[in-house]
Amino acid sequence: MVVGLVSGRLALVTGAGSGIGRAACQVLSREGATVIAADKNYDAASETITKHIALACGANDIGDHSAMELDVSNGKSVQNMLQAIIAEYKTPPRIVVNSAGITRDNWLLKLSEEDYDTVINVNLKGTFLIMQTFARAMTEASVAGSIINISSIVGKYGNIGQTNYSASKAGVVAMTQTAAKELGKFNIRVNAILPGFIDTPIVKTVPDKVKAQMLKLIPLGRLGEPTEVAEVISFLSSDKSSFITGAAIDVTGGF
Ligand code: NAP
pLDDT number for residue 89: 98
pLDDT number for residue 42: 98
CA of 33 relative to ligand 1 center, distance in Å = 22
165 is catalytic: yes
**Residues facing 251 on adjacent strands:** 195
pTM of the model: 0.97
Report helix angle 226-237 to 19-30, nearest 10: 50
Ligand 1 lined by 193 (C-beta under 6 Å): no
pLDDT number for residue 197: 95
- Domain 10-251: which CATH number of 2.40.160.10, 3.40.50.720, 1.10.357.10, 3.90.420.10: 3.40.50.720
Ligand 1 lined by 73 (C-beta under 6 Å): yes
CA of 140 relative to ligand 1 center, distance in Å = 29
CA of 178 relative to ligand 1 center, distance in Å = 23
Which residue has its alpha carbon closest to ligand 1 atom 6? 15
pLDDT number for residue 61: 65
In angstroms, how far is CA 151 from the centroid of its own chain?
8
Name the stretches of the chain with pLDDT < 70: 1-2, 55-61
At 28-44, the pLDDT tens digits run 999 999 999 999 999 99
Laid out side by side, the sheet with 95-98 consists of: 66-69, 34-39, 10-14, 95-98, 145-150, 188-195, 248-251
Ligand 1 atom nearest the C-alpha of 23 is 26
Give the Cα separation of 232 and 227 in Å (integer).
Answer: 9
